[in-house]
Structures are given as C-alpha cells and as structure tokens.
Amino acid sequence: MSTARAGAPGATRSCPHCKATILESANVCPICRHHLRFDQRMSESAHPSFSGLRVEGMIRHPQVGEAWEYSMMLTIRNERGEEIARQQVGVGALQPAEQRTFTLSVDVFTPQQKKVSDNGGGR
C-alpha cells in the first residue's frame, strides 16, 4: 500500500482551501482541485484507479412558458438497500430556452501495490 494513504480506508478530512469533506488519502481536492500535499507518488495517487460509474443527462426548457425549478439529489445505499447518505447537490431555475447538463461520476481509488523487485520477490 502506498504511504501516501493515511488512516483507515474511507477516512475523511476537510480541504483546507474550500472546506469540502474529502478522502484523507487525497493529494488533490476533487472539488476545488488545489494540491493538498506534495508526494513523489502524487502523479499515481492523485488520479482514480478507474471510474465505477458515469451518467450524464441534459434538461432543456422549451422557448415558451414559465421558468422551471430543479433540485439535484444524490442518494447512496448499501448492499441491503439502506440509505447511508443523502444530499441535495444543487438547486436552480431554467428560464425559457436555457439548458443544464448534469453529470454524476463515481471514481474508485485502489491502494497502490508495492512494486516487486526484479530479483523475483526477494524471499
């Protein structure tokens, strides 16, 4: 496991720049994108291992009629269907002829594996 990770997996802290709750292991804040620490492995650990989910959708208001209001909600459930987090991400209004695009992505960070030396593992 990379020494860049601190604490237990899933441990959180506040970004010193924007105060968002982020993973304790993060080298870059995913919200404000400020670098949080310098680490020689930053280029590896700052990026997710893979994207587990990405969904994008658009709402377009027709050119006639009254404004529409919207509320973007995010809910996370565990394997038993129990709600473990629910957050209103944003609210707003669409005037005639306006549009909004919404993107949800779930980035997954896996522990960095120690590299095995060329001597066959050194047992």
Query: Are 10 and 63 members of one domain?
Result: no
Query: Are 29 and 70 members of one domain?
Result: no
Is 119 inside any structural domain?
no
Is 20 inside any structural domain?
yes
Helix H or strand E encompassing 86: strand 83-94
Which has more confidence, 18 or 101?
A: 101
Instruction: Enumerate residues 6+ apart whose C-beta is below 8 A from 82.
Output: none
Query: Are 53 and 42 members of one domain?
Result: no
Query: Are 42 and 52 members of one domain?
Result: no
Q: Is the pLDDT of residue 116 over 60?
A: no
Q: Is the pLDDT of residue 6 over 70?
A: no
> How many domains does the chain contain in total?
2
Is 120 inside any structural domain?
no
What pLDDT is attached to residue 113?
55
Q: Range of 2's domain? A: 1-47
| 29-86 pLDDT tens trace | 888 888 876 555 544 455 677 888 999 999 999 999 999 999 999 999 999 999 999 9
pTM: 0.62
Query: Are 33 and 56 members of one domain?
Result: no
